Homo-oligomer: A and B are copies of this chain.
Amino acid sequence: MAQRTGHRAAPEHTHPDDVPVLTALAALADPVRLVLVRELAGSGDWTRSCGSFDVPVGKAALSHHFAVLRGAGLVEQRDEGPRRVNRLRRTEFEARFPGLLDLVLRETPTA
Which residues of A approach B to under 8 Å, CB–CB?
A: 20-22, 25-26, 28-31, 34, 97-100, 103-104, 107, 111
The chain B residue sitting closest to A27, CB to CB, is B29
Alpha-carbon gap, A30 to B25, bound state (A): 9
Q: What's the number of copies of this chain in the assembled complex?
A: 2
From DSSP, what is the main secondary structure of chain A's interface residues? helix
Alpha-carbon gap, A111 to B97, bound state (A): 13
Q: Residue A100 contacts which of B22, B26, B99 (CB distance < 8 angstroms)?
A: B99
Known interface pairs A25-B28, A26-B29, A29-B29; A20-B111 also in contact (CB < 8 Å): yes
List of 7 A-B pairs having minimum Cβ-Cβ separation, nearest first: A99-B99, A25-B29, A26-B29, A20-B111, A29-B29, A21-B107, A25-B28
Q: Residue A111 contacts which of B21, B28, B31, B34 (CB distance < 8 angstroms)?
A: B21
Alpha-carbon gap, A103 to B102, bound state (A): 13
Chosen A-B contacts, 24 in total, with CB atoms closer than 8 Å, are: A20-B107, A20-B111, A21-B103, A21-B104, A21-B107, A21-B111, A22-B30, A22-B31, A22-B34, A22-B111, A25-B25, A25-B28, A25-B29, A25-B104, A26-B29, A28-B29, A29-B29, A97-B103, A98-B99, A98-B103, A99-B99, A99-B100, A99-B103, A100-B103
